Structure 1
Amino acid sequence: MMMMSTAQAATILLAFSATFFVARSAIPEHLVSSLPGFDKPLPSGQYSGYLPVDTAPASKHYRFLHYWFSESLNDPKTDPIVLWLTGGPGCSSMAGYFLELGPILTNASTSDVQLLANPYTWCQNASVIFLESPAGVGFSYSTNKNDYNTNDTRTAEDNYQFLLNFFEAYPEYAKNDFYIAGESYAGIYVPTLADVINKAGTPSNGLAPINLKGFLVGNGCVGNKVGGCGVSPQSIPIAIKFLFGHGIMSEKLYDQLLEACGPSLNKTATTACSKLIHSYMNLTNGINVYNIYEPCIPSGDDIFWTTSNQMVGYTECGSPGGLLTYMNEAEVREAIHVKSEAELGKWEFCASFNYTGNTDSLLDVYPHLIEKYRILIYSGDVDACVPYIGSEEWTSSLGYKVKEEWRPWMLDDQIAGYVTEYDANGFTFATIKGAGHQAPLYKPPQSLAMFARFIANVDL
């Protein structure tokens, strides 16, 4: 990898361009010409609409995914293309656009929705596709209601079919470097999609193979029976170690847990251990699990902006009120070319449908992906939902030789987090200091710096 100084990196990563670009889209009807409530020219070319993902004849398509494509503010002709997937499962990537890394942000107020340009958008040096997946999430839908019973395998296959159709519709981008990114349950979505791409070879539509260069996953799951997500046997020990390390439980209780549950905290089925686990769980009542140092603010309060227009954060006990209001305004839905509320129902932040997580573990998949792609696993270090400890443990468990051991990485002469790099095609684990579950929301400058260095193949 290339190396550059912190000052040089900061200059490259945080430069903000307001230049407006017009794409050479094959779907001109998907062009978003303006957004209600945003009284400035859109910062770059914006495209929103539906693409089919089933393999039925064109006249009989029934499964359609909504995407929002935001062109790079720098040079969309040559800059990388990034697919962003929000997790859940079943949560909308419109949250990624409007609350985290898109070029335009909204606040959480339900009474006075505001739209503001995002100075830390990941679109500074990349064009980003925000995909609502699977069908049933956000504005994505199917005319076959059985499709709302889905799983990880179907999601990966549909996301791959979406990409084939996207690059067929936007062929001018097919040769650009391509990356996948996502957070939370997208820790399943992202690598399973990369695995499908890796195995697929040349697409049947005659285009070149998808030019995947790598992917990055934030505070992500690695399976439903391993790591810090789902019902894995490691999830409780990981949570206990995280909470103790962040001052949420006393040393006395932690010592009692070690004695009752074993040194590895894995004897959770015993009566003594189970009783103490209930004691530690009671300590977390009222804690925002997505960022343990953020307040739990009642629903409806304006929690995204301080007086200096810096994001504060979405809490588990609040709601994305402003986004919920905005996405359900009739003129907004018309502007972004999605179905009306009468046709589709209300847009929801997270969908209620029957989703089966059928990926027990990706630990045997990752070595094949590491051989071919550059991969960054990152964690906001104050997230109790998917604690960094679990991600650090599973990345280390793959057994690769360490190239650089847990060193600080810097932004503006300040420690932005810590990084461990392995001697395996640049495979890297990094933390973002002070960030919660959605790192770009809680620490926008640091998250942008990390992302931009990754796609530029520059060390953190």
Structure 2
Amino acid sequence: MFNFMAKRERKHCFVSFVAIVLLLHGVNSAASATHLEEEEADRITGLPGQPKVNFQQFSGYVTVSQVPGRALFYWLTESVQQPLSKPLVVWLNGGPGCSSVAYGASEEIGPFKISKTSSGLYLNKFSWNILANLLFLETPAGVGFSYSNRSSDLFDTGDRRTAKDSLEFLVRWLDRFPRYRNREVYLTGESYAGHYVPQLAREIVNYNKNTKNKINLKGFMVGNAVTDNYYDNLGTVDYWWSHAMISDKTYHQLMSTCDFQRQKESNECESIYYYAMDQEFGSIDQYNIYSPPCNRSDGSRLGPTRHHMRLPHRPHSVFREKLSGYDPCTEKYAEIYYNRADVQKALHANTTGRIPYKWTACSETLNRNWNDTDSSILPIYRELIAAGLRIWVFSGDVDSVVPVTATRYSLNQLKLDTTIPWYPWYVKKQVGGWTEVYKGLTFATVRGAGHEVPMFKPRAAFQLFRSFLQGKPLPKS
């Protein structure tokens, strides 16, 4: 009891001291003290099995809609060095319905990865928090630890609510962490976050037109991003054929039968697609066509053989396997680790017990019930290019789900002028990929990377992120 009370007294003394300092500087001490208390309540003192680190972490909930009780979960890992001088980078995973904690934070760009035994964590030497403060957001409600008290929200959601709730989250989160209010902000993400990120950027730009407390949004970067129904799907089928995944016959059948403009394809088109997947693809990981799948100890494949990816591109499969050279079963470790009671307590997650289901890396309920989606994000790109945002789009070139051809076909419709022609870029004296700089947008490929670029090629992804933050073209040597 003594130690517990001592900790509480130290915490309250700290808050009181800061409140006095704020008073001396003419800052509203009551409001600031409240924010400090909220911030301190969200402080992570240490995660189970976590190595010692010298940066601060916070996690918890921000309520974005009072009536239905929708609350979004976040995890902030501050920069390793000089966090007060570093930008705030928000990361979103797609799906829709997949967790930024499971993927972005635990497999890709976060400071920790989960051990095979799910008993602890180890350091990611290419973590992006070396360069920036990372804010992982689980959105919309129903993803990961984010929740709604109105269960119908999980059966009726989509692009519009996700964008508006994410903006509300960011506004309220900046109130809780006012030291970030004037910081440069960048949005990043992958896959169906090709919708989330530009849509949220547009919400922020419009919000800034009507408020004095502007969000200092400077730009965004998205990878293997769902962008435009027609051109994404045209590029996907072309990728399958050009990489010998499907026969000439199936290619011509898909091209002549499917109407890639439609939100839901005809039964005839879908039957051809499923034939290709079941009979011609073989037992591969569609998210990296040159990697082995995650197999059980008896040699059988983990998860269903049929991915739930649809044409046209909307929700993609919630079953994800990974690359040789990395552990292809890391999603399993995340689902074990984040369902542990001690881990949830350390993260301040599910504190009220309002989540009646197990934590999963992806929500099939949301994935199946995604009820509004933009058929094309290209009009938003045009708006945001005109608004002067820094925009980068990158593509791992061995992903067959949202392949490089899909992204190139989509971006070509913007008809942007080229400022730096196509060239190979380098990392550690090796070609990291290829890039072209347009007026208003930079496009880059990452050689040998699958759908989750920072997981498959962490060093190259780190260089990509560094160049993006610097606003400089990728290195030519």
Is 1:85 aligned to residue 97 of structure 2?
A: no
Q: Assess if the C-alpha contact under 8 Å between 1:75 and 1:125 holds in 2.
A: no
Other-structure match for 1:100: 108
Q: Where does structure 2 lack aligned partners over 5 or more consecutive residues?
A: 1-13, 19-34, 260-265, 302-322
* Distance in 1 separating the partners of 2:139 and 2:271: 40
Shift of 1:273: 9.5
Q: Assess if the C-alpha contact under 8 Å between 2:399 and 2:449 holds in 1.
A: yes
Partner amino acid, structure 1, of 2:160:
T
Is 1:336 aligned to residue 337 of structure 2?
A: no
Other-structure match for 1:227: 231
Other-structure match for 1:364: 379
Partner amino acid, structure 1, of 2:445:
T
Give the counterpart of 2:428 among 404, 412, 416.
412
Is 1:217 aligned to residue 225 of structure 2?
A: no
SS state at 2:348 partner: coil
Shift of 1:151: 1.1
Other-structure match for 1:42: 53
Q: Assess if the C-alpha contact under 8 Å between 1:328 and 1:341 holds in 2.
A: no
User: What is the 5 A alignment of 1:22-41?
Assistant: 26=36, 27-38=39-50, 40-41=51-52
Other-structure match for 1:9: none
Shift of 1:257: 6.0
Shift of 1:361: 1.0
Give the counterpart of 1:245 among 223, 242, 246.
242
Which has the larger share of helix? Answer: 2
For residues 32-66 of structure 1, give each alpha carbon's deviation from its aligned partner in whole angstroms, at most 9, with x where no partner exists: 0111011x323411000001112x4xxx6711100
Between the aligned residues of both structures, percent identity stands at 33
Q: Assess if the C-alpha contact under 8 Å between 2:43 and 2:59 holds in 1.
A: yes
Other-structure match for 1:197: 204
Other-structure match for 1:147: 153
TM-score (structure 2 length as normaliser): 0.78
Shift of 1:357: 3.5
Q: Assess if the C-alpha contact under 8 Å between 2:95 and 2:191 holds in 1.
A: yes
Shift of 1:276: 7.6
* Distance in 2 separating the partners of 1:299 and 1:429: 38
* Distance change (3 Å), C-alpha of 1:273 and 1:116: closer
Give the counterpart of 1:349 among 341, 348, 361.
361
Give the counterpart of 2:163 among 156, 160, 163.
156
* Distance change (3 Å), C-alpha of 1:266 and 1:378: farther
Q: Assess if the C-alpha contact under 8 Å between 1:380 and 1:437 holds in 2.
A: yes
Instruction: Select between 433-442 and 272-281 the one with higher mean Cα deviation.
Output: 272-281
* Distance in 2 separating the partners of 1:274 and 1:91: 24
* Distance change (3 Å), C-alpha of 1:46 and 1:203: farther
* Distance in 1 separating the partners of 2:350 and 2:267: 53
Partner amino acid, structure 1, of 2:56:
G
Partner amino acid, structure 2, of 1:80:
P
For residues 410-442 of structure 1, give each alpha carbon's deviation from its aligned partner in whole angstroms, at most 9, with x where no partner exists: 1111100011111x23x1111100000000111
* Distance change (3 Å), C-alpha of 1:266 and 1:173: farther
Partner amino acid, structure 2, of 1:155:
T
TM-score (structure 1 length as normaliser): 0.81
Instruction: Select between 367-376 and 194-203 the one with higher mean Cα deviation.
Output: 194-203
Other-structure match for 1:455: 469
Q: Assess if the C-alpha contact under 8 Å between 1:314 and 1:320 holds in 2.
A: no
Shift of 1:278: 6.6
* Distance in 1 separating the partners of 2:273 and 2:144: 36
For residues 51-98 of structure 1, give each alpha carbon's deviation from its aligned partner in whole angstroms, at most 9, with x where no partner exists: 1112x4xxx671110000110112211111011000000100002101
* Distance in 2 separating the partners of 1:311 and 1:68: 29
Number of matched pairs:
405
Instruction: Select between 280-289 and 433-442 the one with higher mean Cα deviation.
Output: 280-289
Q: Assess if the C-alpha contact under 8 Å between 1:257 and 1:273 holds in 2.
A: no
* Distance in 2 separating the partners of 1:50 and 1:34: 18
* Distance in 2 separating the partners of 1:329 and 1:300: 23
Q: Where does structure 1 lack aligned partners over 5 or more consecutive residues?
A: 1-21, 229-234, 304-309
What is the RMSD of the two structures over their aligned residues, measured on CA atoms?
2.9
Other-structure match for 2:416: 400
SS state at 1:416 partner: strand
Shift of 1:406: 2.3
User: What is the 5 A alignment of 1:252-267?
Assistant: 253-254=247-248, 256=249, 260=252, 265=255
* Distance in 2 separating the partners of 1:136 and 1:274: 28
